A and B are shown apart, each in its own frame.
Chain A
Amino acid sequence: MSKPRSIKLTVNGTAYEHTVEPRLLLADFLRNTLGLTGTHVGCEHGVCGACTVLVGGDSVRACLMFAVQADGCSIETVEGLGSIAQLNPLQEAFREHHALQCGFCTPGMLMTATDMIRKYPLATDDEIREGLSGNLCRCTGYEHIVQAIRAVVARNAGKVR
Chain B
Amino acid sequence: MTEPAEIHTRPKIVGARIKRTEDPRLLTGLGGYVDDKQVPRLLHVAFRRSDHSHARIRAIDCAAARAAPGVVAVFTADDMQSLVKPLRATSRMAGYHATPILPLASGKVRYVGEPVVGVIAESRYLAEDALELIAIDFEPLPVVVDPEEAARPGAPLLHEEAGTNVLIAREFKRGDVDAAIEAAPVRVKGRFRMRRKTAVAIEPRAYLAEHEAGRDAITLHSATQIPGIVRDALAEALDMPGHRLRVVAPDVGGGFGGKGSLYPEEIFVCAAARALARPVKWTSDRMEDLAATSQAFDEIVDAELGLDKEGRALGLRADVIGDVGAYSIYPWTAGLEPVQVVSFLPGPYRIQHYRGRVRAVATSKAPTGPYRGVGRPISTFVMERLMDMAASRIGIDPREIRARNFVRPEEFPYKTGSGIVWDRSGFSECLTAACDKLGYDDLRAKQAKARAAGRWFGIGIASYAELTGIGSRISVAPGMPINTGTETATIRIDSTGAVTASFGIASHGQGLETTLAQVVAEHLGARIEDIRIVQGDSSAVAGSTGTYASRSAVLAGGAATLAAQAVSEKVLVVASHLLEAAAGDLIAGNGRISVAGTDRSVAFREVARAVYSEMGRLPPELRDELAATKTYDPVFGTTTSATHIATLEIDPQTYEVRIGRFVVAEDCGRLINPLIVDGQVHGGVAQGIGAALYEEVVYDDQGQIHTASLVDYVVPSAAEIPPMDVVHLETESPTTLGGFRGMGEGGTIGAPAAVANAIADALSPLGIEINELPITPERLFRLIGAAQAKV
A interface residues (Cβ-Cβ under 8 A, vs B): 21, 23-24, 31-32, 35-45, 47-48, 50, 77-79, 81-84, 87, 91, 94-96, 98, 100-107, 110, 125, 128-130, 132-146
Task: Tell whether, in the assembled complex, residue A100 and residue B26 are in contact, meaning their CB atoms are under 8 Å apart.
Answer: yes
Of A84, A94, A141, the contact of B685 (CB 8 Å cutoff): A141
B window 677-736: CB within 8 A of A: 678-687, 709-711, 715, 717-719, 721, 723-724
The size bracket of the interface on B is 35 or more
Write the nearest CB–CB distance from B25 to chain A, whole angstroms.
Answer: 7
B27 touches A110 (CB 8 A): yes
Q: Are A36 and B717 in contact (CB under 8 A)?
A: no
Complex: how many Å from CA A102 to CA B675?
15
CB distance from A126 to the nearest CB of B (A): 8
**Complex contacts, A31 vs chain B, CB 8 Å:** 35-36
Inter-subunit contact B686/A41 (CB<8 Å): no
B354 at the interface (CB under 8 A from A): no
Given A95-B23, A104-B254, 19 further pairs, Cβ under 8 A = A24-B125, A37-B33, A40-B202, A42-B286, A43-B286, A48-B286, A48-B710, A84-B25, A87-B28, A98-B676, A102-B252, A102-B254, A103-B251, A105-B202, A129-B719, A135-B718, A139-B679, A144-B678, A144-B682
Instruction: Tell me the nearest residue of chain B to A84, going by C-beta.
Output: B24
| Bound CA–CA A25/B778 (angstroms) | 37
Contacts of B710 in A (CB 8 A): 43, 45, 47-48, 136
- CA A140 to CA B509, docked complex, whole Å: 9
How far does the alpha carbon of A84 sit from the alpha carbon of B26 in the complex, in Å? 9
- Given A31-B36, A130-B719, also A138-B687 (CB < 8 A): yes
How far, in whole Å, are A101 and B26 apart by their CA atoms in the complex? Answer: 9
Q: Residue A142 contacts which of B31, B203, B253, B718 (CB distance < 8 angstroms)?
A: B718
Q: Given the known inter-chain contacts A41-B35, A48-B710, A81-B28, please indicate yes or no for A141 contacting B683, CB distance below 8 A.
A: yes
Chain A CB within 8 A of B38 CB: yes
User: Contacts of A130 on B, CB cut-off 8 Å?
Assistant: 718-719
CA distance A103 to B30 in the complex (A): 10
Per-residue contact bits, chain B 28-50, to A (CB 8 Å; 1 contact, 0 not): 11110101101000000000000
Looking at chain B's contact residues, is the secondary structure mostly helix, strand, loop, or mixed?
loop
Rounded to whole Å, the gap between the CB of B427 and the closest CB of chain A is 24
Residue B20 is within 8 A (CB to CB) of chain A in the complex: yes
Residues of A within 8 A of B36 (CB): 31, 37
**Given A37-B36, A87-B24, A142-B686, CB of A102 within 8 Å of CB of B201:** yes
Closest-CB distance, B227 to chain A (whole angstroms): 16
| Chain A CB within 8 A of B497 CB | no
Instruction: Compute how far the CA of A103 lies from the CA of B286 in the bound complex, rounded to whole angstroms.
Output: 18
Question: Which residues does chain A contribute within 8 Å of B31, judged by CB atoms?
Answer: 38, 103-104
24 contacts between A and B (CB under 8 A): A35-B38, A40-B33, A47-B711, A84-B25, A95-B20, A96-B19, A98-B675, A100-B26, A100-B27, A102-B251, A102-B508, A104-B254, A129-B719, A132-B719, A133-B718, A136-B202, A136-B715, A138-B199, A138-B683, A139-B509, A139-B683, A141-B682, A143-B678, A143-B723
Bound-state Cα–Cα, A20 to B356, Å: 61
> How many pairs, one residue from A and one from B, have CB atoms within 8 Å of each other in the complex?
187
CA of A96 to CA of B252, assembled, Å: 21
User: Which of A40, A44, A128 neighbours the largest number of chain B CB atoms within 10 Å of its CB?
Assistant: A40
Leading 10 A-B pairs by shortest Cβ distance: A38-B29, A104-B253, A103-B26, A141-B682, A102-B509, A141-B686, A101-B509, A47-B710, A37-B36, A78-B29
Which residues, 498 to 519 on B, are CB-close (under 8 Å) to A?
508-511
Cβ-defined contact, B719 with A103, below 8 A: no
Asked if B679 and A50 sit within 8 Å, CB to CB, the answer is no
A74 to B454, CA, bound (A): 54
Contact between A98 and B717 (Cβ–Cβ < 8 Å)? no
Cβ B35 vs Cβ A83 within 8 A: no
- Given known contacts A35-B38, A104-B202, A136 and B723 CB-to-CB distance under 8 angstroms: no
CA distance A131 to B105 in the complex (A): 44
Residue of A nearest to B681 (CB): A141
A39 to B28, CA, bound (A): 10
Find out whether the CB atom of A37 lies under 8 angstroms from the CB atom of B202: no
Q: Chain B 252-293 against A: per-residue CB contact (8 Å), 1 yes, 0 no?
A: 111010000000000000000000000000000110000000
Q: State whether A141 and B251 are in contact (beta carbons under 8 Å apart), knowing that A81-B28, A102-B201 are contacts in the complex.
A: no
Contact partner of B511 (CB less than 8 A), chosen from A43, A101, A110, A129, is A101
Which residues of A have CB within 8 Å of B201? 102, 104, 138
Determine whether the beta carbon of B724 is less than 8 Å from that of A143: yes
Q: Count chain A CB atoms within 10 A of each CB in B28, B35, B678, B710 and give the residue with the most.
A: B28
A129 to B665 CA separation, bound complex (whole angstroms): 24
A102, A133, A135: which has the most chain B beta carbons within 10 Å?
A102
- The answer to whether B22 has its CB under 8 Å from any CB of chain A is yes
Decide yes or no whether B305 CB sits under 8 A from chain A: no
List B contacts of A137 (CB < 8 A): 202, 718
Asked if residues B723 and A125 are in contact (CB atoms below 8 Å), the reply is yes
Query: Quick one: given A87-B24, A144-B682, are A136 and B724 in contact (CB under 8 Å)?
Result: no
Tell me if B245 counts as interface (CB < 8 A to partner A): no
